[in-house]
Each structure stands twice: as structure tokens, then as C-alpha cells.
Amino acid sequence: MKRLTDHLIVISFDCLSANDFEELKKLPNFQRLLEGASYCRQVNTIYPSVTYPCHTSIITGNYPNRHGITANTLVQPGRPSPDWYWQRRHVDGSTVYDEAKKAGMSTAALLWPVTAKAKIDYHIPEIFANRKWHSQTAVSLMNGSFFYTIEMNRKFGHLRKGIRQPWLDDFVTAAAAYTIRTKKPNLMLLHLVDLDSQRHRYGFHSTEAEDALRRHDDRLGELLKAIDDSGIGDRATIIALGDHSSLDEHTVIKMNVLLKDSGLILVGKKGSVTSWQAYCQSNDGSCYIFVKDPEAQERVNAMLHSLVTNPKNGIGALYRAGEIEKMGADGKAAFMLEAKEGYYFSESLNGEAYESIQEADVASGLYTRACHGYSPNKPGYQTVFIAKGKGIQREVVLPNMSLVDEGPTFARLLGLDLGNVDGRVLTELLTD
């Protein structure tokens, strides 16, 4: 298959929303990128629209039920800090970076989710130390490319403050710009989280989120400059995309408190889960209900049915296994609930089942101001996709597309093929 570009640079701005598009047009570097670019400002995300499933759909072309990353975290009832789907081994099937590597191309990935221990040449995976006895530096070194990570930390480590934003994105951007200049990889995947962090903490339209967008514009400028400086400008393709939007919330729903009150979850003296028949795994805007004991199925069904029939409960929809599978989410869950706008699910077992969100709880990190994880069909919840450079037609505006169309399109640009996947190659964007 013919290769359409020599260098594909993909920048994921986590939580970049269709609702940001007018603002992007006013920012100098996004404006520069948009000149002559092709784009779609109505990109449907996947379900549940949380970061790890989204980024895996972007890079595999499949919905979560096929690639296996059906949530951010593993189901570990009662564990205060559950493990995330960090490692490549959790992903079923191939990815664009695997195919690129197989074809002998050089690859780079910086904080791209679910890539720990993947075969990527220049690699700092997104993996955080979530056990007290783990150190962040050791965790990063063990799961990415060892000497490259040391080199990037030596050169740019002064920019970061651990894994806190916005400094982490500044570090990652500096490392990415340096990598473009000196290594000129055929494929680079970059994940920036500043905007998403600010929206969770301060809300969708907060001044903090606006500031993050401006910082992202500066970072984009730094990367565009690195592409120009490296001399690969006329052989490179640049993609800027988002993974989901987000919505403000006022009330948290704790399904596990309701399940505990019904005797379906048992907790010990210290409040941790000792046994369970049904358990809620939160995806913030939606949640899965797993049912271990088939005898509990009907009880849970009745309980959820009565909840959803009262609109005051903040639950917009109740889905059962077959429907969940059809939407591309985890078919192993017995039920899935979609929150109404303004509501989100917490996995907590403590306190009241419903709590209105107070500023003190947000400041302490207990709750958030905005979240995602909702259905792709929520109104005004689309994300964006912008493509420009080698192999891309000028000024094609796609009315709509899906996150799963991105991976097959990236593969086609690099002369690769992801095979039979859920998404399609966006041929109308390509020059060949």
C-alpha cells in the first residue's frame, strides 16, 4: 500500500470539545494550523467516553468491546486506588504504532494511554505510581524506553513538578519538540491533559479552562516550530484531535451505597468490601453494574428500574447487556446507567447515596466540577479532528465522523492497514 506521508504527528488535546472550535479559530497557532486544513467539528466519541477507552479506540479503530479497554480502571471492588489499564498487553488486536514498528518505521509516544511496555522507540508512557512503595521515576523508567526517558528528564525535568498540571504538559511538549528535531520519528503520538484537568477541577467554561486552551495554543506553536526547524515540514502530516467533551455537574450519585444498603455489597469494619453480589464501576457520566450472582440479577434489575422511572434520580437511561454490547461498551456488565446532565457517578461506598457537590469537596479532590464518560449521543458532546499536511486534501470539511475512523486513517496515511476494524478510512480527506 502506498505511503502518503513520511511523518505523522498526532497531538491529542484531552477534552478538546466541538464547543471549543470557535475559540480555537481566535488563537494564533490553532489559526495557523486551521489555514488550509481539513477538519471535522462533530466527531462522535465512544461509550463510555473516558480517556483510556477513547485513546485506544483512536489508535485501534475499534470500539471498547473489541479492543478490551472498556473503562479507565480495572474492576477492583473496595480498593482505594484501583489499577488503571496502563499496559499495552491489555489491548486486544493491533494498533497503528505496532503496525508502524512492524513496517520498520521509527515511533514515538509521549503519555499516550495504555502503551506501557509497548514496542515504541522513543517512549514515555502514561503510568502513575499508585502504590505508596512505588516511585514515579522508577515506574516511568520500567515501562517506557529507559535511556530516552533518562535523557528527556535530564534535559527537561526542570519544567515538571511531578505529574501535576500544567507543568507536566510543558515537560511533555518540550520533550516532543526535541524528539521531532533530533529523532524525526515516522509516527509520534502525544497526549496533553492540561485542559481536561482544569475542566474537572473548575468547570467547562471556567477561566482556568480558557487559560489551559491558551497554553495548549502555545504548546501547538512550539511543536509547529519544531516541525519547521527539523526540515520535515513538507513531508509531515499534523493531526490535532480531542477524545471527548465534558459537562458540568452538581450532584454525585453513589450506586454502591444503594447496593450496600440493599445487602448486595458487604463491607468490613474498616469500610472496605468483603464480598459483593453486584458492584458499580463508575465511568463518571455513566457506570457499569456488574452482577456476580445470577440470583441477584432480578433484584438489581427491579432496583434500577424503579430508580430510572423517577426523573428526580438523575438517571437518563438504563441499558442491559445486549444493548451495552451494541453500543461498543463492556458486554460483561449486566447493566449500564447513563447519568442526566448535571449528575455523575462515584464508586464511593461512603456517605449518602446522593450528594450535592460543594466547593470544599472539589477543593479537597473528593468530587469534581465537570466530567465525561457520557454517551456519545448526549447533545453538544462532540469532539474535533483537524488534519493538515502531506497526504491530506486542503479544506475538506467533514460533517461528521467517529473516533474509530481515526486509527484506520492514520494507518492509511503511513501505507499501513489495521485490517477489519469498526472504523473506516476517511478517504475523502486523503490525496490518494
- Footprint on this chain of Zn ion (rule: CB under 5 A): 14, 51, 243
Beta strands at 401-402 and 38-44: parallel, antiparallel or unpaired: parallel
Rounded to a whole number, what is the distance in angstroms from the first to the last CA of the chain?
A: 11
Closest to Zn ion by CB, 7 vs 191, is 191
The answer to whether the Cα torsion of 228, 233, 236, 241 is positive or negative is positive
Distances in Å between the alpha carbon of 72 and those of 221, 324, 331, 347? 30, 17, 16, 13
Nearer to Zn ion, 94 or 246 (CB): 246
For residues 63 and 356, what is the distance between their CA atoms, to the nearest angstrom? 33
CA distance 371 to 304: 22
Considering only CA atoms, which of 240, 198, 241, 243 is closest in space to residue 223?
Answer: 240
Q: Which residues contact 5 (CB under 8 A, 6 or more apart)?
A: 235, 236, 237, 389, 390, 391, 413, 414
Nearest to 9 by CA among 251, 173, 155: 173
Query: Between 126 and 338, whose beta carbon lies closer to Zn ion?
Result: 126
Which of 60/256 has CB closer to Zn ion? Answer: 60
Q: Which of residues 194 and 243 has its CB atom nearest to Zn ion in the complex?
A: 243
Q: What is the distance between the alpha carbons of residues 98 and 242, in angstroms, rounded to a whole number?
A: 22
Residue 54 Cβ vs Zn ion, minimum distance, rounded to whole Å: 6
β 315-320/335-339 pair status: antiparallel
Going from the C-alpha of 286 to that of each of 79, 231, 310, 345, 371, the distances in angstroms are 20, 46, 17, 7, 10
* Least distance in angstroms from the C-beta of 172 to Zn ion: 15
Q: List, in order, residues 6 or more apart from 201 with CB less than 8 Å away.
A: 208, 362, 368, 369
Q: Which is nearer to Zn ion, 185 or 203 (by Cβ)? A: 203
Shortest separation between residue 196's beta carbon and Zn ion, angstroms: 5
Q: Name the residue whose CB lies closest to Zn ion.
A: 51
Distance of alpha carbon 419 from alpha carbon 399, whole angstroms: 25
Identity of the residue, 314 or 373, whose beta carbon is nearer to Zn ion in the bound complex: 373
Three cell numbers written together for 354:
446522593
DSSP classification of residue 20 = G
Decide: helix, strand or coil at residue 225.
Answer: helix
Residue placing its CB nearer to Zn ion in the complex, 40 or 349: 40
Between 46 and 220, name the residue whose CB sits nearer to Zn ion: 46
Which cell numbers hold the place of 147? 535511556
Separation CA 54–CA 114 (nearest Å): 11
Q: Please calculate the CA angle 155-127-282 and round it to the nearest 5 degrees.
A: 145
Q: Which is nearer to Zn ion, 236 or 247 (CB)?
A: 247
